[in-house]
Structure 1
Amino acid sequence: MRGETVRLTIGERISWYRRRRGLSQRVLAELVGRSEDWLNKVENNRIQLDRLSVIAAVAQELDVTLNDLLAEPSFVDWGPDTGQRTTPSLRATLLTYRQLVPARKKVRDLHPPEALLERVTAVWDAYQSARFGYMTGALPGLIEDLAYAVDQYDGDEKRRCQRLLALTYQASTGVLTKIGEADLACVAAQRGYDLAEQADEPVVLTSLTRSVSHALLSAGRYSDAVDLIDNAPSTVGTLDSTSSRAFTSVYGTMYLTGAIAAARADDAATTNDFLAQADVAARRLGRDDNLLWTAFGPTNVAIHRVSTAMELGNVPLALDLGPRVDPSPLPTERQVRHRLEVARAHSARNQRDEALRLVLDAEQLAPEQVRHHSLSRDLVLTWIRRSHGPQNEQLAGLAQRLNVA
């Protein structure tokens, strides 16, 4: 159904599914604790519905997934980076029975761990550069080669390949959440977590805990994600004077993910507590770093203060904090996400020109990320629906490139 609604705003999508369910506006509004007038304005684009906690509540009452309402396109364009094997190949690799029945795995070339590490690094670098097409093309073969290596090696080499495969599943989770494949992201995250446990790698296990939380977020299971992070110290431990910089980085990043989950669950107290935990870790590091591809440090904590403010509906705070954050020390994916967040805040105050400028800037940095993100597409669609008179050429061109025109 998602393909049928990709050129609709979130409000129009709610209307589409509501009618398919045979519900009146009054009934659906009551189910989510809102007024009929509010829902009417949402469905007619007079209120821009951008808080994921509210969207998830509507999705639950309509008996659809969060991504059905967000309509994130999993279609990945072919290109030099991808070839003609993208999301379907990654799906087949994650769901193949050969991963579950080792005795029936195909014989393939056995690669040394050093060569596999180079490929894992390339995939993670691509994620942080928002090259999602490259990732969907590269991940299937990498997962299969690593799974074979885990099966064939013994001792330290086997453990090293388990660690690399766990991190590859984590990268898979990341790109799958970006392109709207929430169910597959959950599969990848759980596989990575299980491998990290087998390898007895506390740093990797902490990193995969964050990955599982990301998968739960993409599925709209915010309270589950909060509980996971809240209980994580009993599994992964806590910071102390002996904690490595790598552990400190993944530990702080885990709490940033938890803060987003808590904000989407409308739990301001837990959001602030998790942000404080992340801030402690960032202060210990003393600078921005990218250990284990976390992009963690004071800047990422500041970015998440903006994001959580928006998730909690505190637009003034987001507009106060957002423009003061310089995201340039961080990888492209983080810079673009911050620009989209600040654009959302400006749009909420009807400052469309500034919001459009930020989205266009983000597109220059990472066109794939902007094309796949539900936030950028819904902003553009809403601006178009509200436009009167001659259409803004920049906006019209952006809508065409996002395939929502």
Structure 2
Amino acid sequence: MQIHRQRRGLSRPVVAGLLGMSPSWVKQVETGRIQMPRLPVVLRIAEILRVRDLADLTGDQTLQVDLFIGPGHPRLPAVQAAVDSFPFTEDREAPPATHLRARLRQAWAARHQAPNHRDVVGALLPELIRDAQLAVRQAETAKDRRAGQAALSEVYSLSQFFVAYQPDSALLWRIAERGMVAAQESEDPHAIGVAGWLTAQAHRDTGPNRFDAADAVTEKALRYLEPYLPDADDRVVAIAGALQFEAGYTAARRGESGTAWGWWDRADRTAARLSPGYYHPVTSFSRAIMGAHAVTVAVELRAGGESVRQAAAADAVAIPSRPRLARHRIEEARAYHLDGQAETALATLEKAHRAAPETIKYNGYARRILLEETESKSPARRRRAAALADELGLLAA
């Protein structure tokens, strides 16, 4: 605990305040003068210190418990095989780029509409990956090759959503890197912006030691897009806004309140440029999403009261994507949990589950809250949390 606290640059009084404990209690835990805290407290410590594997705190290496990595999806091996295979020789003709684009639009629509979105996307991806790779290989002109690379980059973007939070980080990074290479080869500003957005997320979600790398990618992507923005269409404006919010998200993870809200303001001004009702299919960036983004910033800054106020102000009904709505519900649940409203937090997680069960199943924050509440002193809360945790497979032997 002391090592991870110092790596994050946090003092004992700061950690104590976030835990609702005294600095002397933190010191006693770190020096081994008291026994290991109960599971709810260990989970809270893990979140504050951004520790992904509980074994890094408990010292028990016999059982790995990764808070932020979900179970391996049954379709993961097929997607992995498609990513790792290259069509050097194929007897069939590659589909045209327009055909790939139409299938991609259908795949994104399916992802946003299906409660079991990973299962749906995982079924579509293997053939999409192979066809997009083949289209690039068989392109006869520079124009066709650039169009194929743009489509391939977007296929990798969809793949990254599927692979994220699954137990294959090496595959995630291969996809992110190949997506960035394909985007650069396409010379398409939108494709490059999306690849930058996803690469920044991959860096940030790796942990605090990669925050600087996330910022560097975000900054470079925004600088690249800047000349295009005065005359850009909604797609390019939206990816610029999404990148601006990502910069704010990383700042909030660092605890830099002023910087985080400053970036949120910039993203909000960018959202105002979008056509009414526009919703970016990859990033979900839109006018409607800014309320949800405000909740995320407040939660990451661990401002309980402000988080709840932002949650009350956000218009969840305006979010048309089921997985993005479920993600917003999870952020709301975090807000209520921070504010000590455990019952409301559980009710909000139940709403997230109704919107998209696969989103909550792979979300480490949702799992942390549920596991903590399964040890609540309230029998009613214990039963409620255990019922949902059991449905998600968290209590399986």
Smaller-chain TM-score bracket: 0.7 to 0.9
Counterpart of 2:40?
45
8 Å CA contact 1:49, 1:55 repeated in 2: no
Residue 119 (structure 1) aligned with residue 119 (structure 2) = no
Counterpart of 1:282?
271
Counterpart of 1:153?
139
Equivalents in 1 of 2:4, 2:240: separation in Å? Answer: 40
Equivalents in 2 of 1:225, 1:190: separation in Å? Answer: 14
- Using the aligned pairs only, state the percent identity: 20
TM-score, length basis structure 1 = 0.80
Residue 133 (structure 1) aligned with residue 128 (structure 2) = no
TM-superposed deviation, 1:391: 6.5
8 Å CA contact 2:302, 2:338 repeated in 1: no
Residue 375 of structure 2: SS of its match in structure 1?
helix
Equivalents in 1 of 2:172, 2:128: separation in Å? Answer: 17
Q: For residues 65-84 of structure 1, what are the structure 2 equivalents within 5 Å?
A: 69-77=66-74
Q: For residues 5-404 of structure 1, what are the structure 2 equivalents within 5 Å?
A: 33-34=11-12, 35-37=26-28, 44-46=39-41, 49=44, 54-56=49-51, 69-77=66-74, 86-96=75-85, 98=86, 104-129=88-113, 131-155=117-141, 156-179=143-166, 181-220=168-207, 221-238=210-227, 240-285=229-274, 287-330=276-319, 331-389=321-379, 392-404=382-394
TM-superposed deviation, 1:53: 6.3
Equivalents in 1 of 2:162, 2:212: separation in Å? Answer: 22
Change (3 A) 1:276 1:151: same
8 Å CA contact 1:182, 1:218 repeated in 2: no
Counterpart of 2:21?
none
Residue 157 of structure 2: SS of its match in structure 1?
helix
Equivalents in 2 of 1:381, 1:135: separation in Å? Answer: 28
TM-score, length basis structure 2 = 0.82
1:326-349, Cα deviation, whole Å (9 max, x unpaired): 122221122111111111111223
1:328-385, Cα deviation, whole Å (9 max, x unpaired): 2221122111111111111223312211111111111111111121121111110011
| Structure 1: unaligned runs, 5 residues or longer | 1-24, 78-85
- Alignment-mate amino acid for residue 376 of structure 1: A
Equivalents in 1 of 2:253, 2:373: separation in Å? Answer: 24
Equivalents in 2 of 1:385, 1:337: separation in Å? Answer: 24
Equivalents in 2 of 1:120, 1:145: separation in Å? Answer: 11
- Alignment-mate amino acid for residue 27 of structure 2: E
TM-superposed deviation, 1:309: 1.1
Change (3 A) 1:289 1:28: closer
TM-superposed deviation, 1:312: 1.3
Q: What's the RMSD between the two structures over aligned residues? A: 3.0
Give the count of matched residue pairs. 366
8 Å CA contact 2:176, 2:198 repeated in 1: yes
